[in-house]
Structure 1
Amino acid sequence: MDSYEELKGETLLDIGAAEAVFTLDTIDYIDRAYLFECDEAWIEALEATFAPWNDKIMIVRKYVSDVYDDNNITLDTFFQDEGRPIDNLFLKMDIEGYERKALKGAVHILKHGRQVGGSVCIYHLHDDKKVIESELKNFNLKTSVQPGYLYFEKEMRSAIIRFWS
């Protein structure tokens, strides 16, 4: 991000939250955050860390994917079930190579949401940069691959793509 001010009034979807450092850094700017994290090792720490902001944080213990079952949820289903608006959303996504599946489960949000943007990791799979950028552009979203590279799987890869409506 150029500035956390960009997130003023936004709802943050921290997909693959882990320790949720990004959410913690932006907590004073955002309206609400959904922390999607399945690793039980992080849950107790997340609950303790975000206790002072309990009114604006929700921890979701499901994998974000393109299917909906006991262990997985799609972003479209999550927002439909919650009855929440799909406007002013920022998706931060780092889910170890499942970013494509998560985007496939967010078709309605990406197609119909107003002021939807985010940052997606694009280094886990060899062709993530090309595939994910193409998927985002199919929704008429603007994209920008962030400068710099990450050494991963014995090659230099772009790490993050930003997108916005």
Structure 2
Amino acid sequence: MEKVIIFGTGKRAQWIFKYLDKYNEFEVVEIWDNNEKKTGKIYEVNGKNVVVKQPHYENQYNIIVSSDVYYEEITRQLIENLSINPIYIKKFGYVFNSFKTKILEKYKDSDNAGINNICKYLRANELDVFCGQISNNYPLDIFEVHKDSDNGLLYSFWQGKKIYLSSVYKNPNDAKAYLCTLCKEQDVNSPHCYNIDKLDFYNTDIFIDGGAAEGFLALQVIDMVKHVYLVECDKEWVEALKLTFEPYKDKVTIIEKWLDEADSENTVSIDTLVLNNKNMDKIIVKMDIEGKETDVIKGMEKLIDSDIDMTCIICTYHKSGDEDIIHDFFEQRGFDITFANGYMFFPYGEIIEPELRKAVLTARKIIKN
């Protein structure tokens, strides 16, 4: 088992610790952190107590930098201040080395050009969610982040409109990193791109944002549609959504429930949201709901059978096999189906599979005149 050092103790590092507890692929010999207040703290990783230390000279083990935000800064620190050879400094994706090996083996005989390009990238780079398919750079300084003195929340601007972030984000750089991640997801080359420029929001009566989170997509199209339903159950995100959409409260309804196949105290179906509305000709639904997508589509049969023009933008990467299940569901009902370009590796599910997945499916109802 390879021995490594983890640099950092933040959220990403905590995730690495849990990952290693589950997959037992590395032995963490030390944890480094620049924050002196963390020095001496003990974390249990893989059944072993590991002490946090200040960075010091070390040329024996690979150092996995847990933070994407500060990776370049930490790399310079290690090279310039501690004379550490850069070959020992690894990005977060290094923890997925065994999955990278399995992916390369699985797809070695693929005749898919996109997958072959990913495999070529992986032979020279760490495995990451987007597998090198995003060519544009999104530095933190493309966003300015401010603190609202009235409520303490951080906010920035998305295409000229004020957007608030969850109270979980207390550090401006973390907030900037989150917003940059949204930019990467919606990059034209990203497998997670919703391709909203190809959809006609201007003629849409209702837009449902399932798993709204910060609500960037709804904010982007708010001036085009007649009404928006923001479906989000996370209380911290709901707090932020109420502030972001305060200027549009007359055309926005926030549903503090989860989307699901049927209604309950904590859930609501698409059919329930939509079919109580009268004089509606067109609806667009977006779902990014942490693996519940295959359940939720079952709760929209009445809408599908109606004469309402509808388009669904659905994430298909949360669980293995979802892309086929969701594709077949809509194909059998006569929808026109496209996938976003490229493939994703998804490391955040309960079970991580060594596979590349299509990430976003768009299904358009074919209206017969």
TM-score, length of structure 1 as denominator length: 0.92
Q: Size of the alignment, in residue pairs?
A: 164
1:10-159 aligned at under 5 Å gives the runs 10=204, 11-80=206-275, 82-85=276-279, 87-152=281-346, 153=352, 154-159=354-359
**Residue 264 of structure 2 aligns to a residue in which SS?**
coil
CA 113–38 in structure 1, closer or farther in 2 if over 3 Å, else same: farther
CA 2–46 in structure 1, closer or farther in 2 if over 3 Å, else same: closer
Unpaired runs of at least 5, structure 2: 1-194, 347-351
Superposition CA RMSD, Å: 1.6
Unpaired runs of at least 5, structure 1: none
CA 130–3 in structure 1, closer or farther in 2 if over 3 Å, else same: same
Q: Which amino acid aligns with 1:125?
A: K
Q: Which amino acid aligns with 1:145?
A: F
Counterpart Cα distance in 1 of 2:329 and 2:229 = 23
Who is 2:127 aligned against? none
1:85, distance to aligned residue in structure 2 (A) = 4.9
Counterpart Cα distance in 1 of 2:337 and 2:199 = 19
Q: Which amino acid aligns with 1:52?
A: P
**Residue 25 of structure 1 aligns to a residue in which SS?**
helix
CA 162–5 in structure 1, closer or farther in 2 if over 3 Å, else same: closer
1:4, distance to aligned residue in structure 2 (A) = 6.6
Counterpart Cα distance in 1 of 2:235 and 2:333 = 34
**Residue 106 of structure 1 aligns to a residue in which SS?**
helix
Conservation of the 8 A alpha-carbon contact between 1:18 and 1:37: yes
CA 136–51 in structure 1, closer or farther in 2 if over 3 Å, else same: same
Counterpart Cα distance in 2 of 1:19 and 1:54 = 15
CA 146–3 in structure 1, closer or farther in 2 if over 3 Å, else same: same
Q: Any runs of at least 4 consecutive aligned residues in structure 1 with deviations exceeding 6 A, and if so which?
A: none
TM-score, length of structure 2 as denominator length: 0.43
Match of 1:161 among 361, 364, 367: 361
Aligned-residue sequence identity (percent) comes to 29
- Pick 1 or 2: higher relative contact order, CA cutoff 8 A, min separation 6: 1
Instruction: Pick the structure with more strand per residue.
Output: 1
Cα deviation, 1:52-78, whole Å, max 9, x if unaligned, reads 111110001111111211111111123
Report the structure number with the largest CA radius of gyration: 2
